[in-house]
Chain A
Amino acid sequence: MDYKYIEQLLERYWECQTTLEEEAILRNFFRQADIPASLLPYRDIFQVEEEMAEVRLSDDFDKRLMERLEVKEEEEVAQCQTISITQRLRPLYRAAAVVAVVLTIGMAAQQGFNRNDDDEAAQQQLTAAENQSDTLQLFTDMPEVSPQTEAVLAPVSTDTLLIQ
């Protein structure tokens, strides 16, 4: 058998120029029992790699993994339920907040109006009182009237008017 092709593949293998298919050819070649002496040393590397490829996890790995994933799934479901209830009530909370704000504003405005009305009434009363006071002051401040003036200002009977 001409092993030249294998030797060429090996040279390219060391230079990292082989394809995956060519490397598979080399592995298949070195699996067989009849290897020429010149190529025998290279069998060790392929044998080591073949043994490394046969390493497996322990048999109970899947079981332990699934148990752990089941716990995680339960935790996620519980978390989703909590979030779901909160999310469902959120619109209600928003609506209640809006109503509270509107009521607060309304009540504040109403108080403001009431205060303004009271203020106006109080102001009007105050103005009236001031006017009254002024009027009283006028009479208080009036100068004394002379007897002649008083006589002129006194109510005149109609007989008197007729005579004149």
Chain B
Amino acid sequence: MKTIDFHNDVLPLKDKLFRLALRITLNGVEAEDITQETLVRVWEKRDEWHQVENMEAWCLTICRRLALDYVRKNELRAEKEQDVANFQLSVAGSEAMPDDALDQRQRVEAVRRLIDQLPEIQRTIIELRDIEGLRYDEIAHVTELTETQVKVYLHRARKKIRELL
């Protein structure tokens, strides 16, 4: 059995954890705190590492639970999307963009806003599948759903996005 090392196996997951927390909370500062808390809890549970089959899915599950706790306490809504936009890497400044590119930028932002306004479970599954590239069984593990349920939610999310395009 592979021995898991925190620095080599767990710490590299930090950005995935952060993106998931950000997708759920729509708040960059909180997402960073949740990411740190997730890694601390994973470190505290190092006696259980040998029992974990999929460390990435396990860490994402812990992260999601913490993020959901935060959302329940604070009842955040999609008006926080501006915080999310601030944490996105700016591909190109909009001021100097030609009209076509500006139009495309605006369309891209419209799609981003739409994703941020999806129900949490749909946002989470879009994040895990389309951005992090997880398999359906892994997503089912993280979200504590069945694979069928995962596909149903993903279908609904992609359908909404397609209607916008």
Contacts and interface: CB of A to CB of B under 8 A. Distances in A.
3 residue pairs, one from A and one from B, having the closest CB atoms: A41-B165, A48-B111, A54-B89
A34 B69 CA distance: 44
A89 interface: no
Interface of B: 11, 14-15, 18-19, 22-23, 32, 35-36, 39-40, 43-44, 87-89, 91, 104, 107-108, 110-112, 115, 126-127, 130-133, 135, 151, 154-155, 158-159, 161-162, 165
A85 interface: no
Contact of B127 (A24, A41, A45, A52): A52
A57 B18 contact: yes
A64 interface: yes
A contacts with B: majority SS: helix
19 contacts: A13-B158, A14-B159, A20-B133, A23-B133, A51-B88, A51-B89, A52-B88, A52-B112, A53-B131, A56-B18, A58-B32, A61-B14, A61-B32, A61-B36, A62-B14, A65-B11, A65-B14, A65-B39, A72-B40
A55 interface: yes
Interface of A: 13-16, 20, 23-24, 41-45, 47-49, 51-58, 61-62, 64-65, 68-69, 72
